[in-house]
Amino acid sequence: FGLGVVLGLAILLVRRHVPESPRWLFIHGRDREAERLVDEVEERVEQEKGVRLEEPSRSMTIHQRRSIGFGQIAHTMVARYPRRTVLGLSLFVGQAFLYNAITFGYAQILSTFFGIDTDAGYFFAVIAIGNFLGPLLLGRFFDTVGRVPMISGTYIGSGLLLLGTAWLFNQGVLTAVTLTACWCVVLFFASAGASAAYLTVSEIFPME
């Protein structure tokens, strides 16, 4: 519990040095600040790559406002973009089954089926490693390969791995150690997919 407090305070300090989303800034009327952030990123990329970035060939209209009402959000989600709403809900529901179902119920599974009542934290530490390495090692491919194939691949892959683990568990061939290893691999892919899905939906939907 104490470590959680320390991390929370650290996040408050880090947050002071993390820039706001340019998209959010522009929508809320802070376009000069948004342009400055984007210019800094473009300059850094041009220096690192040694190339001149091309000007965008297309544009879009953004209606600036300080806040978005729930009525407008509901209308946008249900009436204007129902397919996108279904997609976003599918990503979050899938994340709940592939990710939360493991992390929320693992201590109970260890206690009920393997008789482990006091050392569950060690098993959580192992699956946390896979949970951390997934976004760390796969994260860049969501930008280079593309979000659609990577989110689809990580969701489908982790789902198939979870089904395989469930079958092995039902056959009674898994121990606490091997089940932890299986779920570590599942979370390696599920965590990367869930992280990208969270960012995609929360950042751009149901706005422009």
Tell me the C-alpha distance between 167 and 174, whole Å. 10
- What pTM did the predictor assign? 0.69
* Residue that is written with structure tokens 């965008």 in the block: 56
Identify the CA nearest to 138 among candidates 124, 120, 121, 151. Answer: 151
pLDDT at residue 9 in the model: 92
pLDDT tens for each residue of 190-199: 999 888 887 7
Q: Is the preceding peptide bond at 206 cis, omega within 30 degrees of 0?
A: yes
Which tokens in the block code for residue 202? 């929360």
Judged on CB neighbours under 10 Å (0-12, 13-18, 19+), 17 is: exposed
What's the confidence (pLDDT) of residue 6? 93
Long-range Cβ contacts of 65-73 (<8 Å, 24+ apart): 65/27, 65/28, 65/29, 66/28, 66/29, 68/207, 73/206
* pLDDT for position 161: 93
Cα 151 from Cα 148, distance rounded (Å): 5
Q: How open is the CA angle 191-193-196, to the nearest 5 degrees?
A: 105
DSSP-derived 3-state class of residue 61: coil
Which region holds residue 146: left if phi is over 0, alpha if psi is between -120 and 50, else beta?
left
Alpha helix stretches (DSSP H) within the chain? 2-15, 22-27, 31-49, 70-75, 82-95, 101-114, 120-138, 141-144, 147-170, 176-204
Q: Name, in order, each residue with C-beta under 8 angstroms of 149's C-beta and a sequence gap of 6 or more.
A: none
**Predicted pLDDT at 165:** 93
Give me the residues of the chain with pLDDT under 50, please.
Answer: none
Q: Which residues contact 65 (CB under 8 A, 6 or more apart)?
A: 27, 28, 29
